[in-house]
Structure 1
Amino acid sequence: MSEQGVDNSKRQFLTTALTVVGAVGTGYIAVPFLSQMQPSTKAKAAGAPVEIDISKLETGQLIRAAWRGKPVWVLNRTPDVLEILASNTDNLADPDSQESNQPTSSQNEFRSIKPEIFIAVGLCTHLGCSPTFRPETAPNDLGPDWKGGFFCPCHGSGFDLAGRVVKGVPAPTNLDVPPHHYITDTLVLIGEDTVEDSA
């Protein structure tokens, strides 16, 4: 067939049609593979922020929740505890929380947004054991310097009631304070910083 017998418009139409069909086919093949790379609904839910209602949290009480598969503690500290926290810094490795993990809004002597409410990830920063809540002062097994706090039975690390690690124990840093903010006075959202922290 000669060059003059070729219909260029038909050739252009067939080329365009095959290109479109090929692109659509590639899309149908690629979508299942790409969707498998996305996190599952269960994984998304596990990392989602968690709301905790603290309206019934009594003074001195500790409640536990879960966020990202980790225990989270919410403690309503007494006025006496707040006084001790402000004065008992000589025995602490990082009293100002310079080497520890917390949102900017919680980097203060109480390690909290509201002084009386302490929120922390309940895992020792040494090897990830869960410390026990020991609010009593100077118990026989922990000695006269113990002013209340969290004691890790795995390797003997101690933390005060602001999650600050005491000197000379295996834990290298203070307990982690998760990102959080208050939705209302009695409803706290764990997993998202305040506007100032995320800016």
Structure 2
Amino acid sequence: MGNDGVDERPESLGRRRFLTATTAVVGAVGAGFAAVPFIKSWNPSARAKLAGAPVIQDIGALPPGQQLTLKWRGQPIYVAHRTPAMLEQLPKMQPLLADPNSDNTDQQPEYARNEWRSIKPEYLVLVAVCTHLGCAPEFIPELKPQPFDPDWKGGYFCPCHKSRYDLAGRVYSAQPAPANLPVPPYHFENDTTVVIGVDPQGAA
């Protein structure tokens, strides 16, 4: 025994060192197990990965003047097949629009910042969520008078608060909606297959 009452015999010292080392190892292993759920939480779940996966769609059978609705990342996506008559209206709409030249670059990728807001003029791809309060705008492509606009030139109308967009998803001036409908990242795998969620190869 030492002066402080601690047993300093070799066998006692060896036992204490063993117990100290064992406790440290057990503590480290326990900390490792405790960390596993936390580290796992950094990895996206299978459902989250699926929600963000690209959506591939053949649009070869989509008739001119019609659109279909897809779902990507939990959001509805409109793919509209515009006719030559619809495309002819786009330059004429500029005086009526809040952002006719797509100067708000948050609303579309650079490759869709043109008069059609699309890669191919005939195909429009939009996130179908009104930029006011998130309602789904209705596709009303007919160039004829409507109850909400006697001089309607075709486009999108939000039934919730009456915001109007043209056939490129550009918002009219003085609407509740503050911005154009967003264009998601997308590209064409071939002439008739669109891939939503992935930019074209080489796009910034």
Report what 2:165 is aligned to. Answer: 159
What aligned pairs does 1:1-199 form with structure 2 within 5 A after superposition? Answer: 22-99=27-104, 100-197=106-203, 199=204
Deviation per CA, 1:15-42: give whole Å up to 9, x if none. 8887666544422221123213433221
Gaps of 5+ in 2: 3-7
Larger radius of gyration: 2
45-54 or 154-163, which deviates more: 45-54
For residues 13 and 195 of structure 1, the distance between their equivalents in structure 2, rounded to whole angstroms, comes to 61
TM-score by length of 1: 0.86
For residues 30 and 45 of structure 1, the distance between their equivalents in structure 2, rounded to whole angstroms, comes to 26
Q: Which residue identity does 2:109 align to in structure 1?
A: P
Q: CA 1:79–1:32 in 2, change beyond 3 Å: closer, same or farther? A: same
68-77 or 35-44, which deviates more: 35-44
Gaps of 5+ in 1: none
57-66 or 39-48, which deviates more: 39-48
- Matched-pair identity in %: 53
138-147 or 172-181, which deviates more: 138-147
Q: Which residue identity does 1:38 align to in structure 2?
A: N
For residues 130 and 15 of structure 1, the distance between their equivalents in structure 2, rounded to whole angstroms, comes to 65
84-93 or 22-31, which deviates more: 22-31
For residues 15 and 185 of structure 1, the distance between their equivalents in structure 2, rounded to whole angstroms, comes to 70
SS in 1 for 2:174: coil
Q: Which residue identity does 2:147 align to in structure 1?
A: D
For residues 140 and 68 of structure 1, the distance between their equivalents in structure 2, rounded to whole angstroms, comes to 33
Q: CA 1:138–1:32 in 2, change beyond 3 Å: closer, same or farther? A: same
For residues 186 and 25 of structure 2, the distance between their equivalents in structure 1, rounded to whole angstroms, comes to 49
SS in 2 for 1:58: coil
Kept after mapping to 1: 8 A contact 2:93/2:166: no
For residues 186 and 19 of structure 1, the distance between their equivalents in structure 2, rounded to whole angstroms, comes to 63
Kept after mapping to 1: 8 A contact 2:143/2:153: yes
Cα RMSD of the aligned pairs, angstroms, is 2.6
Aligned length: 198
Q: Which residue identity does 1:175 align to in structure 2?
A: L
TM-score by length of 2: 0.84
